[in-house]
Structure 1
Amino acid sequence: MKISNRGVLLTALASAVMFSLSGPASAKISADEAAKLGSDLTPLGGEMKGNADGTIPAYTGGLAQPPAGWSADKGYTDPFAAEKPLFTITAQNLGQYKDKVTPGMQALFAKYPNFQMPVYPTHRTATVPAGIAAKVKAEAVNAELNGFGLANLNGTTTPFPIPKNGLEAIWNHTVRYLGGGLERTYSSFPVRPSGDFYDVKVLESRVFDTNMDKSSPNRLLNYTARFLSPATLAGTIQLVQEPIDQVAEVRSAWIYNVGQRRVRRAPDLAYDNVNDGTEGLRVTDDFDAFNGAPDRFDWKLVGKKEMYVAYNDYKLGNKQIPYKDILTPGTPNPDLMRYELHRVWVVEATLRPDAKHVYGKRSFYLDEDSWSVLATDAYDTRGSLWRVGVHPLIQYYDAQVPWYAANIWHDLSNGSYYMAGLSNQEKSPWKFGAKGRFVDFQADALRRLGR
């Protein structure tokens, strides 16, 4: 059969369009590459060695045990409480350190002249249980992208320990190990430029499919959030069923409205829709630094850099420190923040021409040892830097879970910020490893919870 040049061109264009719609190609890593995990590379894919000048130490296994005498009711004791800052970055000396400070953090120095970054010695505390690490290594040769979704996850929590593109890297963050399940009560605070704030308290249950009594096809996790305060939101409940392959299945979500005593579908619990209690300072897929379907952006893996990032911020969760001492005007109290030099993967997400989102571009800085996003810079559709995310990491040593001490989003346009995930004044400790029942994460369960 004779094929015309025009036919060849049309076929090529059709293929290009299908590629554009389906996302970047994913090539599985080889067995030789996977063999580096636990030797040249950490179990999750970070560099085992330190940096040339010794300011980033070699990885020695992380912080896998609680301090002596620790108990959960005390909160997470700071294992580095005796350390003093090596130096403090200020607006006056920023020029000396600018190459290791994100554009977003640089913008905070420009907007808030009193903003500071106290820099401490680096500790590579992130670690996960041995069984989780073994699963990562075993499945590294199988996991692959399916368009913007995932295929062959098979229970691994780091599908792409040696990422080949930005989409693989951000999926590592999205499915990373959080103990299999989590129950917690935490507080979030919209903080106005004056320093005024109020408490948005939530009881959250987040259970991955591996910890459910009944598995669901293509299910990553199940999630409920019940608002306990303020009075205008108390009793409202959100339910999310989160899929793995978000090409094959979109997120399912419902909300129980306490005033109407009814359950309704909530398709707006996704992408750039604004959530209750945030005063518009954070959109849905900002939660947990990033979550949900990545299909509205093109993802580029820029590379790895050494950056000063919020790390081992145990002071933020100190049970002796009330919220009012943390939530200072402009930015959280810098005396309670801790920054360290770490290697991060830099990923750029650019809004696709056929998609809509309030952000035109986003930059993500992912910890090489945990795949947690540690910082975010979000630009509006005109290209102006708009929101700056700071996501301090700690090691929850009793559960061997590296996760956030808090999440902070600064809005450069109005001088407000939103700080989420604090539990200093909560008596009940967070419960990692929580199990879930299938019936408790169905729409009918919201009515029962509401009553």
Structure 2
Amino acid sequence: MKLNKKLLATGILAASLVAGQAWGAVSAEEAAKLGNSLTPMGAEKAGNGGAIPAWTGGLTKPPANYKNDGIYVNPFADEKPEFTINQSNVSEYADKLSPGQVAMIKQYPDFVMPVYETRRTATYPKDIMDETVKNATETTLIKDGNGLGNYQNATPFPIPQNGLEVIWNHITRYRGGSVQRNVGQATPTASGAYSIVKFQDELTWRTYLTDYKPSEDANVLFYFKQAITAPARLAGNVLLVHETIDQVAEPRRAWIYNAGQRRVRRAPQVAYDGPGTASDGMRTTDNFDMFNGAPDRYNWELIGKKEIYIPYNSYKLVDPNLTYDQIIKPGHINQDLTRYELHRVWHVSATLKEGERHVYARRDFYIDEDTWQAAIIDHYDGRGELWRVAEAHAMQFYDQMVPWYAVETLYDLLSGRYLVLGLTNEEVDPYEFGVKRQTRDFTPAALRRAGTR
């Protein structure tokens, strides 16, 4: 793939991270582009002279029919697809698709991609954008890229110099500070049969704790608690994670409360390619949120920028008038409910380091420039064969100025099965932002309270 000449000319793009080197903290002159030629988050502000428009501030005003109840109505409900990519024309658009998307279209006749007008809706609260600009000249990669120096909140590397910095931008991106959500997960068989596993997730950044103290747990990025609420055989089991910034110096702290045994146990397997919670083997731990956790097992190469069709403004998939049966179909979700748009992405390739172990020998990331969210990840097995294809159907939570995912999908090309996570259509109170949490809410002792049946 050819590198973006504009990025090369400005010196933004550099080689992959070499062990022992520190990156980040660009010059004040380079950082001055933020808010000018670049958005405050580091995306190119200008359009491409074609389908991609200029960024003009994002979607900050909820639609008139939004009731401020966490049920996100579609601001583009009247729009129709401009065209659809399918088996008959996929070769015409292959240069603007990931290999995984092409494989899905070729494998499933009804895996179509409705392409709509590009809407650059992404934006963040002003304090997050301001802190991102500040990070540009202060935050660095430390310890071979496995930790961050001079970092508190927001995006650490709005002007990334290598692939690992792009990945850290995804890992650390703002998701509302402190949020609770009720979501469903399904792992359909090849024939489409499924059952729903329901989760209540809590995610709170350390700096958003009501009793936050800068000197305490300084290596913790955020706290995560996930309680299974259905089906009955799993209900009451709870996972607790203290996500550390430098997971090599201090591995992720994780505990599991087993409701049947009424015991809390450390869970070191909740990392890397350990099995994902209640996923029937359809995802690894680090597949959650498209990718999470320590990056130390891979070499990260920044290939460049590319324009591709990615899921975006996916409000149809959160429509409360839909049932899960209308979304979950054999082989893949109902693609008629999806929306794809042309956007610029950062392409990062991760290859497993010699001597390290992981079920994925290579992963190719396509990360949206406006949000730093992974939009697509293609996963390859140890033979170098394309194995799994992940798509994140993004949307803007416009009342909170938070870009996030409507649902995540992970397709297994070999088994014909897949996982879909984040379903809210049949859930009550799917999202609550601004929840108040203290340190004691994320202790192992708190698991028993959260897991009581």
TM-score where L is the length of structure 1: 0.93
What secondary structure, in the 3-state scheme, does the structure 1 residue paired with 2:349 have?
A: strand
Helix, strand or coil for the counterpart of 2:378? strand
Q: Is the 8 A contact 1:223 1:239 kept in 2?
A: yes
Q: What stretches of structure 1 move > 6 A for 4+ residues in a row? A: none
Compared CA separation, residues 431 and 227, structure 1 to 2 (3 A) = same
Equivalence for 1:288 = 289
Paired residue secondary structure (1:72) = coil
Query: What is the CA distance between 1:415 and its match in structure 2?
Result: 0.3
SS of equivalent residue, structure 2 residue 361:
strand
Q: Does 1:46 align with 2:43?
A: yes
Which residue pairs with 1:7 in the alignment? none
Distance 1:309 1:247 in 2: 33
Residue 56 (structure 2) pairs with residue 60 (structure 1): yes
- Percent of aligned positions that are identical: 49
Q: Does 1:151 align with 2:148?
A: yes
1:314 aligns with 2:312: no
* 3-state secondary structure, aligned to 1:387: strand
From the superposition, tell whether residues 141 and 184 of structure 1 become closer, same or farther in structure 2 (CA, over 3 Å): same
Q: Name the aligned partner's letter for residue 196 of structure 1.
A: A
**Gapped regions of structure 2 (runs ≥ 5):** 1-16
Candidates 125, 134, 139, aligned match of 2:130: 134
Query: For each residue in 1:359-407, what CA deviation from the matched residue of structure 2 results, as whole angstroms up to 9, or x when unmatched?
Result: 0000000000000000010000110100000101100001100000100
* Alignment partners' CA distance in 1, 2:337 and 2:261: 42
Greater Cα shift, 154-163 or 361-370:
154-163
Alignment deviations for residues 87-137 of structure 1 (CA, whole Å, 9 cap, x no partner): 000111111111001100011012112210000000000000111101111
1:334 equivalent in alignment to 2:330: no
Cα offset for 1:138? 1.4
Is contact 2:116-2:339 (8 Å) kept?
yes
TM superposition shift of 1:444 = 1.3
The structural deviation recorded for 1:27 is 4.3
C-alpha separation in 1, matches of 2:247 and 2:433: 26
1:88 maps to 2:84: yes
Structure 2 counterpart of 1:187: 184
Do the aligned residues in 2 keep the contact of 1:148 with 1:246 (CA within 8 Å)?
Answer: no
User: Aligned equivalents of 1:133 and 1:265: distance in 2?
Assistant: 37
Q: Which residue of 1 aligns with 2:212?
A: 214
On the 8 A contact 2:227/2:451 being kept in 1, the answer is no
Counterparts of 1:156-305 in structure 2, within 5 Å, are 156-212=153-209, 213-215=211-213, 216-305=217-306
> CA shift at 1:218, angstroms?
1.2
Q: Do residues 119 (structure 1) and 120 (structure 2) align? A: no
* CA displacement 1:48-86 (0-9 Å, x = unmatched): 00003x200000000012111311336111111101000
- Partner residue, 1:107: 103
Give the distance between the partners of 2:411 and 2:136, measured in 1 at CA. 36
| Matching residue's letter, 1:214 | Y
C-alpha contact (below 8 Å) 1:211/1:434 kept by paired residues: no
Tell me how far apart the structure 2 counterparts of residues 245 and 268 of structure 1 sit (CA, whole Å).
17
Q: Which moved more, 1:231-240 or 1:165-174?
A: 231-240
Alpha-carbon contact 1:304-1:345 (below 8 Å) kept: yes
- The letter for the 1-side match of 2:100 is G
Query: Larger Rg: 1 or 2?
Result: 1
Question: Residues 35, 267 of structure 1: CA spacing in aligned structure 2 closer, same or farther, 3 A cutoff?
Answer: same
Cα deviations by residue, 1:298-348 (Å, 9 ceiling, x for unpaired): 000000000000000100000101110000111111110000000000000
Indicate how the Cα distance of structure 1 residues 193 and 383 shifts in structure 2: closer, same or farther if over 3 A, else same.
same
Matched, 1:25 2:22: yes
Q: Counterpart of 2:414 in structure 1: which amino acid?
A: S
- Indicate conservation of the 8 Å contact 1:74/1:319, yes or no: no
> Are 2:70 and 2:431, in contact at CA under 8 Å, matched by a contact in 1?
no
Aligned Cα root-mean-square deviation (Å): 1.3
Cα distance in 2 for residues equivalent to 1:190 and 1:358? 19
3-state SS of 1:359 partner:
coil
Quote the Cα distance in structure 2 between the aligned partners of 1:251 and 1:199.
Answer: 28
> Which sections of structure 1, spanning at least 5 residues, go unmatched?
1-18
Output the CA distance in 1 between the equivalents of 2:94 and 2:65. 41
Q: Which amino acid aligns with 1:33?
A: E
Q: What TM-score do you get using the length of structure 2 for normalisation?
A: 0.93
AA aligned opposite 1:37: L
2:329 maps to a residue whose letter is: T
Deviation, structure 1 residue 290: 0.5
Amino acid at match of 2:148: A
